[in-house]
């Protein structure tokens, strides 16, 4: 499931983050790619321990913790600290799949990547190219969102960032391990949750919305691996 969340960050948040990010010192992005990824990766990233990455990353994590739709769709067990990338003219990241297992530091717990997120920090009119292209069972999707908006996609998907031909594309990106590993099961739970919420808003609570809520929790109980 690909899902678009609008205005995860406000305009003011984006402007302040860009002020800090644009003044930071960026490094070669290949340092954080796996062997296959490094061959097709041409971009800049902030070092994960860069103070700006830590400060902004913590703020983004806080926003996600309060974002009901992100929580419902991802069912995160843990989300790695956000990383930041910058694609200038000719930068790109060719087709790859994100590593299945990651760590945020040498002695940190392993995280299985189930859901990948890109949070855009550049507006579409500020650059050409740079679309995030994600393949799923229904074909290929090109994504370029307003600054402050986010896309989530299953980490099992082949994806790439197309070459930038004008301007610069700046994004935050990160991975979550979900309580529910399988995309199909997460999608079903998310859609059921949305349906229950719409029914509640329309009809209030009655025996049927309570029964559906029980089904939601009982499915989650069967599928969740905390």
Does the annotation place 86 within a ligand binding site? no
Cβ 224 to ligand AKG shortest distance, Å: 26
Q: Which does 186 bind (CB under 5 to 8 A by kind): ligand AKG, Fe ion, none?
A: none
Q: Which of residues 150-189 bind ligand AKG (CB under 6 A)?
A: 159, 161, 171, 173
- Residue (175 or 190) nearer to ligand AKG, CB: 175
- Residue (26 or 93) nearer to Fe ion, CB: 93
Residue of the chain from 17, 44, 70, 85 that contacts ligand AKG (CB under 6 A): 85
- Residue (96 or 186) nearer to ligand AKG, CB: 96
Residue of the chain from 8, 79, 115, 118 that contacts ligand AKG (CB under 6 A): 118
Does the annotation place 141 within a ligand binding site? no
Does the annotation place 96 within a ligand binding site? yes
Residue of the chain from 42, 53, 60, 98 that contacts Fe ion (CB under 5 A): 98
Buried b (16+ CB within 10 A) or exposed e, 170-201: bbbbbbbbbbbeebebbebbbebbeebeebee
Judged by CB under 6 A, the number of residues near ligand AKG is 9
- Residue (76 or 82) nearer to ligand AKG, CB: 82
- Residue (13 or 87) nearer to Fe ion, CB: 87
Buried b (16+ CB within 10 A) or exposed e, 16-40: ebbeebeebebeebeebbeeebeee
The answer to whether 114 contacts ligand AKG (rule: CB under 6 A) is: no
* HEC-encoded secondary structure of the chain: CCEEECCCCCHHHHHHHHHHHHCCCCEEHHHHCCHHHHHHEECEECCCCCHHHHHHHHHHHHHHHCCHHHHHHHCEEEECCCEEEEECCCCEEEEECCCCEECCCCCCCCEECCEEEEEECCCHHHEEECCEEEEECCEEEEECCCCCCEEEEECCCCEEECCEEEECEEEEEEEEEECCCCHHHHHHHHHHHHHHHHHHHHHCCCHHHHHHHHHHHHHHHHHCCC
Cβ 35 to Fe ion shortest distance, Å: 14
The answer to whether 114 contacts Fe ion (rule: CB under 5 A) is: no
Does the annotation place 67 within a ligand binding site? no
Task: Indicate the annotated binding residues for 2-oxoglutarate.
Answer: 169
Q: Given the rule CB under 5 A, which residues bind Fe ion? A: 98
Q: Given the rule CB under 6 A, which residues bind ligand AKG? A: 85, 93, 98, 118, 132, 159, 161, 171, 173
């Amino acid at each position: 499931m690909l899902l678009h969340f609008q205005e995860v960050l406000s305009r003011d948040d984006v402007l302040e983050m860009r002020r800090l990010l644009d003044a930071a010192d960026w490094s070669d992005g290949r340092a954080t790619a796996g062997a296959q990824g490094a061959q097709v990766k041409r971009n800049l990233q902030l070092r994960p321990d860069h103070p700006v990455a830590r400060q902004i990353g913590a703020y983004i994590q806080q926003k996600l913790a309060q974002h009901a739709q992100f929580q419902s769709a991802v069912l995160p067990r843990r989300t790695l600290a956000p990383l930041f990338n910058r694609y200038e003219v000719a930068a790109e990241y060719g087709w790859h799949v994100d590593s299945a297992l990651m760590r945020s530091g040498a002695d940190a717990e392993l995280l299985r990547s189930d859901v990948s997120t890109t949070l855009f920090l550049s507006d579409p009119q500020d650059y050409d190219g740079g679309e995030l292209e994600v393949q799923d069972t229904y074909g290929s999707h090109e994504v370029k969102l307003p600054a402050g908006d986010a896309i989530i996609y299953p980490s099992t998907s082949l994806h790439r960032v197309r070459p930038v031909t004008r301007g610069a594309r700046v994004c935050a990106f990160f991975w979550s391990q979900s309580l529910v590993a399988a995309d199909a099961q997460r999608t079903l739970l998310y859609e059921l949750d949305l349906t229950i919420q719409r029914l509640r808003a329309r009809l209030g609570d009655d025996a049927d919305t309570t029964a559906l809520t029980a089904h939601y929790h009982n499915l989650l109980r069967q599928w969740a691996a905390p």
